Amino acid sequence: MLRYVIKRLIGIIPILFFVSIFIFLFVHLIPGDPARLVAGQDATLQDVEVVRQELGLNQPIHIQYFNFISGIFQGDVGSSIKTGRPVFDEIASRFMPTFWLTFWSMIWAVMVGLLIGVISATKRNKWQDYLGMFGAVSGISMPSFWMGLLLIQVFAVQLGWLPVGGLESWQSYILPSITLGSGVAAVVARFSRSSLMDILKDDYIRTGRAKGLNEHKVVWGHGLKNAMIPVVTMTGLQFGFLLGGSIVIETVFSWPGLGRLLIDSVAFRDYPVIQAEMLLFALEFILINLIVDLIYGFLNPQIRYD
Amino acid sequence: MTEKMLEITNLKTYFHGDDGVVKAVDGVTITVNKGETVGVVGESGCGKSVTSLSVMRLLHDTPGEIVDGSITFEGKSLLDLSEKEMRMIRGNEIAMIFQEPMTSLNPVYKIGKQLEEVIKLHLHYDKKEARNHAVNMLKLVGLPRAEDVVNEYPHQLSGGMRQRVMIAMAMACNPKLLIADEPTTALDVTIQAQILDLMRKLRDESERSIMLITHDLGVVAEMCDRVVVMYAGEVVEEADVLSIFENPKHPYTKGLLGSVPKLGQDLEKLDSIPGNVPTPANMPKGCKFAPRCEFAMDVCWKKDPSLLATNGNHTCRCWLYQDQEKILEV
């Protein structure tokens, strides 16, 4: 098991290497000239050229890439073109707000989604199922910006119970995490419903009932653990997506997170920040995948890590 | 007077499907006396498994429903019990062994946990007592290294071992009635013999009743005291095991016996019963076996015969053995 984890961690290096090439190329393909943006609209061509040299953007692209990679190995991911601050600091200050927002959103979304999924699966084609799946379809279909604006309108503007946006206290988390989690809860509900419905047809479920176990123990004890694998896969993926910072929700709620940092950086063609942030997303996804694989082993003893 | 353990009377279990009602079990009457092993024999789809699931009231998640009849266990009417009272009986007084040992154990829990679950539930043992009992049960069913097996997962065991675990689980609370639904069908022939030996041993050690559902007449000959032959949801013949093998009455039973190879017999080809079990959609109006029966008469196509005693306890549902007058009436 430990050997497996180490092997997987070492495997991350080549993956990140290839990912870095793609990120670098795509970032440089974004139309627009950062030198022009830094120098200002009124700057002369010569001024722009000077800025370009300062930023090292006049060098051939493979040299630029080499500088970027060697910087990473020296623990220096460069400085933001826009603010001049080290990219590391820029990202670090934005990471935690996004992480906690994602964390709390996932917590409630998975719990509520599972509950709805299990109830729907056990009350198949009854009103509880229809209600649950109506909620799930609504959760998936509602655009998050619209839901966010609606929540702000009702709970922040009209009722005045919760802050409109920004991050000041724990109350600031409530509306954005509802908005962010509702889609996840809906997907978890649908996945767990269909997965559990399949599992409940299995022979060992009948064995459980033949033992005299009550339905509660049959479903939660024997059914759910077997039904969790697709749910865990999906939850891991969602977690990865959300950790990247939801651009729409962070914009709607003026959230000081990675999503808004990315939007600002792209607008300013802030190459070092964009590259570092993309690389961070890739790393997050790889690590989450590893964690998901480890959870599989816990859920299903037939999975061996050799 | 023999004591009746289980009495199924005129049981009707119907399935409500998209194509209408399927009468999986249609008026079945079976009695299992104390200490007796009754074999229920028939082709796939004749309603034997549905009968056993009806006894356990385990038709959950199926469109099946018991629409008529009664099931009495030790004088208690099972169909009148609440679900909670029924749970006290399942796994405790009536236990069941299923056909599929490979899939009947939960793959994500250790054997010990799955055994202890039923022991704690019905015998109210604490954790340590339950573990000891589980190990003893595994030893009883002849599993080697029982102390290790409790800490293993189902996928680490072979099919025969898993069926032994299932039997241990079924026997754990010392049930008065054991329903075994094709317990050996999915196993190798050598393992089959071992499992049958084990079941016989467990039966002989106590006054346990067994309802053995099978399509294998060899198993019936080895295990059973009495045999009930089912066809298309009905009982077509019932007799003690010797009478069935020596003097079968119903053409279907004769056909079943004729399709079994016998030692020392030099045959080019085994007999077979032509045709298939009728589908619910084109169930014959008269005798359900008429389309496949070589003795079918006019009357067979018109009216379903009733189950009549031919001599003593040997009953048969066939016009060949009914009153001449009654035939003329039809």
Contact indicator for A275, A265 with CB cutoff of 8 Å: no
Is B155 close to A301, i.e. CB distance below 8 A? Answer: yes
A32: which 2 tokens? Answer: 């627009």
Q: Give the integer Cα–Cα distance in Å for A196 and A190.
A: 10
- Chain B residues whose CB is inside 8 A of the A213 CB are 87, 91, 117, 121
Is B90 close to A209, i.e. CB distance below 8 A? Answer: yes
Q: Is the backbone of residue A250 left (phi > 0), alpha (psi -120 to 50) or beta?
A: alpha
The residue behind tokens 């694989």 is A293
* DSSP label of B277: P
Measured over all CA atoms, what is the biggest interatomic distance in chain B, rounded to whole angstroms?
Answer: 70
CATH 3.40.50.300 domain range(s) in chain B: 4-93+175-273
Of B84, B105, B122, the CB nearest to A204: B105
Q: Give the integer Cα–Cα distance in Å for B195 and B142.
A: 10
Q: Which fold would CATH assign to domain B4-93+175-273?
A: Rossmann fold (3.40.50)
Q: Could you tell me which residue, B12 or A69, shows the higher pLDDT? A: B12
Of A212, A225, A226, the CB nearest to B88: A212
Residues in chain B: 330
Q: Which residue of B has its CA nearest to A302?
A: B155
B93 touches chain A (CB under 8 A): no
Contact indicator for B288, B304 with CB cutoff of 8 Å: yes
Strand B94-97 and strand B177-181: pairing? parallel
- For CA atoms A119, B108, B212, B245, the dihedral sign is positive
Contact indicator for B249, B314 with CB cutoff of 8 Å: yes
CA dihedral B256, B98, B35, B75 (to 10 degrees): -110
Q: Give the integer Cα–Cα distance in Å for B182 and B48.
A: 10
Residues in chain A: 306
List the 59-88 stretch of B: residues with Cβ below 8 A of A: 60-61, 84, 87-88
Contact indicator for A104, A243 with CB cutoff of 8 Å: no
Is B107 close to A301, i.e. CB distance below 8 A? Answer: yes
Residues B185-189 have a mean pLDDT of 78
Of B61, B87, B98, the CB nearest to A200: B61
- Chain B residues whose CB is inside 8 A of the A222 CB are 106, 109
- For CA atoms B193, B194, B197, B202, the dihedral sign is negative
A219 touches chain B (CB under 8 A): no
CA A31 vs. chain centroid, Å, equals 26
Residues B51-55 have a mean pLDDT of 91
For chain A, how big is the Rg over CA atoms in Å?
A: 24
The DSSP annotation for B131-199 comes to HHHHHHHHHHTT-TTHHHHTTS-GGGS-HHHHHHHHHHHHHTT--SEEEEESTTTTS-HHHHHHHHHHH
Q: Give the integer Cα–Cα distance in Å for A110 and A184.
A: 7
Which backbone phi and psi does A82 adopt, to 5 degrees?
-75, -50
B124 touches chain A (CB under 8 A): no
* DSSP label of A170: G
Q: How far is A240 from chain B (nearest CA, A)?
A: 27
Contact indicator for A240, A284 with CB cutoff of 8 Å: yes
Please report, as a single letter, which amino acid is at residue A221. Answer: G
Is B92 close to A206, i.e. CB distance below 8 A? Answer: no
Q: Give the integer Cα–Cα distance in Å for A229 and A234.
A: 9
pTM over 0.90: no
β-sheet bridge partners, residue A101: none
B113 touches chain A (CB under 8 A): no
Q: Give the integer Cα–Cα distance in Å for A58 and A43.
A: 17
Q: Give the integer Cα–Cα distance in Å for B206 and B60.
A: 31
- Chain A residues whose CB is inside 8 A of the B57 CB are none
Of B103, B117, B169, the CB nearest to A202: B103
β-sheet bridge partners, residue A86: A79
A176: which 2 tokens? Answer: 């954005």
- Identify the structural domains of chain A with CATH numbers, from first to last: 2-73 (no CATH), 91-299 (1.10.3720.10)
Grade residue B257 by pLDDT with cuts at 50, 70 and 90.
confident
- Chain A residues whose CB is inside 8 A of the B87 CB are 212-214
Q: Which residue of B has its CA nearest to A211?
A: B91
Contact indicator for B230, B236 with CB cutoff of 8 Å: yes
- Give the residue among B241, B292, B293 at the shortest CA–CA distance from B37: B241
Q: pLDDT tens string for chain A (306 positions)?
A: 788 888 888 888 888 889 888 888 888 887 777 787 777 778 788 888 888 887 778 888 888 888 888 888 887 777 787 788 888 888 888 888 888 989 999 999 999 999 999 999 988 888 988 998 988 888 888 888 888 888 888 888 888 888 887 778 888 888 889 988 898 999 999 999 999 999 988 889 999 999 999 989 999 989 998 898 888 988 888 888 888 767 888 888 888 888 888 888 888 788 888 888 888 888 888 888 888 888 888 888 887 776
Q: How far is A297 from chain B (nearest CA, A)?
A: 10
Residue B230, helix vs strand vs coil: strand
- Asked if residue B250 has pLDDT above 60, the reply is yes
Best residue in A123, A129, A207, A209 for a mutation probing chain B (most B CBs within 10 Å): A207
